[in-house]
Amino acid sequence: MSKDLKDKTPEELEQLVTELGQKKYFAGYIFSFIHVENATEISLITPLSKAFRQKLIDQGYYISALTIARKLEDKDGTAKYLFTLEDGNQVETVLLPESKRRTVCISTQVGCNLDCQFCATAKIGFRRNLTAGEIADQVETIEADSGKVTNVVYMGMGEPLLNYDAVMKSVKLLNHVEGKNIGIRHITISTCGIAPAIKKLAQEKIHPRLAVSLNAPSDELRTRLMPINKKYPLAGLLKAIQDYQDDTRQRVTFEYVMIKGLNDSAENAKTLVKLVSGIKCHVNLIEYNPHPGCDFAGSGSESIKKFAEVLEYAGIETTMRFKMGRGIKAACGQLGADMAKE
């Protein structure tokens, strides 16, 4: 059992304090000092008696903290943070300010082993899963550094649903009323399509929004771009998404990275329409963002608009995202590009 108090839910903290002979409500002080006041030392939780604080320290309990190793800001307002974890590993996290909304795109693993061909993180390989405390801390540290965060997307480094327990626990930490209290509808988990985990997610008591990184309308093309498709091909994946929607009544987002000459033809768009018919969805078209070691090119705004027209004509709500954060390699698919180089 981890001794990191940042990694514990209020219920786990209640269990801990009662086991140590203290009143249950002391857990609330610990939780809000860590997740609202950003306390990084047990000695700072002053509502607890000095003796109890010392007892926690003596028993090896601590509060983990991320360190900002680098912060880059793009002229479009995007900021990319490089965080150092307590063991020296590093992850990148992005703040995307858009009018009233301030979204943080967080990482769930150090590196990733899914090898999606358009993604720089894949080049790092997989190092380890993040803990729930480390995942939530990315939001908390950015909020302390640059102001209120309104939305969270699990779309940074790593595949969230391959670190399922820590990810769901971090959602609970961020959503908790005594913590950051980020509304569950303001939290999105994006997956490359781990079908069994989508089924599991449907059974949870709370349902963050679900986004699925689709990127191709056929198994052949999708397997080329995303080897995980071999394990979870489109038919089973779409069935899991449909079941998720039936269980949760939630609209699902499909992310589609637009790569020139590969997945961006009118024919691809028509096949995509057929593929997702029956699913209440929204499609987000993202122009491929270049990074070293990958030969793809972005589709360009004209092709993306034409692709979007086919979807919209079929009644599918579609948005287009261009180049946000590209100047600092903070755009989709670019996280870890500098780390892979290093």
**Angle separating helix axes 301-313 and 266-276, nearest 10 degrees:** 40
Query: Least CB distance from residue 243 to ligand SF4, whole Å?
Result: 22
Q: Running DSSP on this structure, what letter comes out for residue 206?
A: S
Residue pair 66/138 in contact (Cβ under 8 Å)? The answer is yes
Q: Outline where 152-265 has alpha helix (H).
A: 164-175, 195-202, 219-225, 228-231, 234-248
Stretch that binds ligand SF4, among 114-122, 133-141, 200-208, 216-224 (CB under 6 A): 114-122
Hey, which residues are catalytic here?
A: 92, 332
Considering only residues 79, 116, 198, 294, which one is a binding residue for ligand SF4 as defined by CB under 6 A?
116
Work out whether 225 is an interface residue with ligand SF4 (CB under 6 A): no
Beta bridge mates, 284? 255, 319
Work out whether 91 is an interface residue with ligand SF4 (CB under 6 A): no
Alpha carbon distances (Å) from 289 to 266, 333, 335: 21, 7, 10
Q: Closest CB to ligand SF4 among 39 and 335?
A: 335
Considering only residues 27, 122, 283, 330, which one is a binding residue for ligand SF4 as defined by CB under 6 A?
122
Considering only residues 121, 175, 263, 303, which one is a binding residue for ligand SF4 as defined by CB under 6 A?
121
Beta strands in the chain (DSSP E): 67-73, 79-84, 90-98, 101-105, 109-111, 126-129, 151-154, 187-191, 209-213, 252-258, 281-287, 317-321
Work out whether 14 is an interface residue with ligand SF4 (CB under 6 A): no
Work out whether 114 is an interface residue with ligand SF4 (CB under 6 A): yes
Considering only residues 192, 197, 237, 241, which one is a binding residue for ligand SF4 as defined by CB under 6 A?
192
Query: Least CB distance from residue 293 to ligand SF4, whole Å?
Result: 13
102 vs 121: CA distance, rounded Å:
23
Within positions 159 to 188, which residues make up the interface with ligand SF4, using CB under 6 A? 159
Q: Closest CB to ligand SF4 among 106 and 157?
A: 157
